[in-house]
């Protein structure tokens, strides 16, 4: 069973972050420039929360707030559920489904180690299934 460590070996451990005091406009701009749907929020180098496009849509746009004047801390999800490098892909999928989230920060020894998205998890499951199908076809044919 693949673990988060295997996903990060392929994907890389680059994580895009922002501070809680930054204006939401900066967060949205960074997400657009980087082509990502979430940023981890760090306070003094520690994980304080996560801010997503969904947070922006629901907590700024729909409430008529100003993205220039609203700090990230007012719309972020504080203390997001995180996983470790040893967490399995299946467990991550269960967490995403159960908690209705699309991103899981990866924390190892109290240090941020990466971020996995539902897209990363689905890709891993599809890749594993394709490899298993190939293996079974070779077994049957051989």
Helix locations, 69-117, DSSP H: 89-99
State yes or no: pLDDT of 138 exceeds 90. Answer: no
Structure tokens that stand for 73 in this block: 């801390």
Q: What is the pLDDT of residues 66-102, one digit of tens each?
A: 999 999 999 999 999 999 999 999 999 999 999 999 9
Euclidean distance between CA atoms 76 and 39, whole angstroms: 9
Q: Are 15 and 36 in contact (CB under 8 A)?
A: no
3-state secondary structure at position 121: helix
pLDDT given for residue 129 in this prediction: 87
Whole-model pTM: value is: 0.89
| Dihedral sign computed on CA atoms, order 32, 35, 36, 42 | negative
Q: What is the pLDDT of residue 136?
A: 87
Pairwise CA distance, residues 84 & 61, whole Å: 33
What is the reported pLDDT for 134? 86
Helix ranges restricted to H, the chain: 4-11, 24-34, 53-56, 89-99, 118-141
Dump pLDDT digits (tens) for 35-63: 999 999 999 989 999 999 999 999 998 88
Q: Are 16 and 40 in contact (CB under 8 A)?
A: yes
* Cβ contact 37:102 at 8 Å: yes
Residue 35 is given by DSSP the state T
Q: What structural domains and CATH numbers belong to the chain?
A: 4-141 (3.10.580.10)
The residues with which 116 forms a beta bridge, in sequence order, are 104
């Amino acid at each position: 069973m693949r673990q988060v460590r295997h996903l990060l070996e392929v994907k890389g451990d680059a994580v895009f972050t922002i501070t809680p005091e930054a204006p939401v406009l900066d967060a949205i701009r960074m997400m657009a420039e980087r082509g990502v749907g979430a940023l981890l929020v760090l306070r003094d180098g520690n994980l304080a929360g996560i801010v997503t496009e969904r947070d922006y849509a629901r907590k700024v746009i729909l409430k008529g707030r100003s993205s220039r004047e609203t700090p990230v801390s007012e719309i972020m999800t504080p203390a997001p559920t995180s996983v470790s490098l040893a967490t399995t892909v299946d467990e991550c999928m269960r967490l995403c489904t159960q908690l209705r989230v699309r991103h899981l920060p990866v924390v190892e020894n109290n240090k941020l180690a990466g971020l996995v998205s539902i897209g990363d998890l689905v890709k891993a499951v599809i890749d594993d299934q394709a490899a298993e199908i190939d293996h079974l076809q070779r077994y049957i044919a051989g």
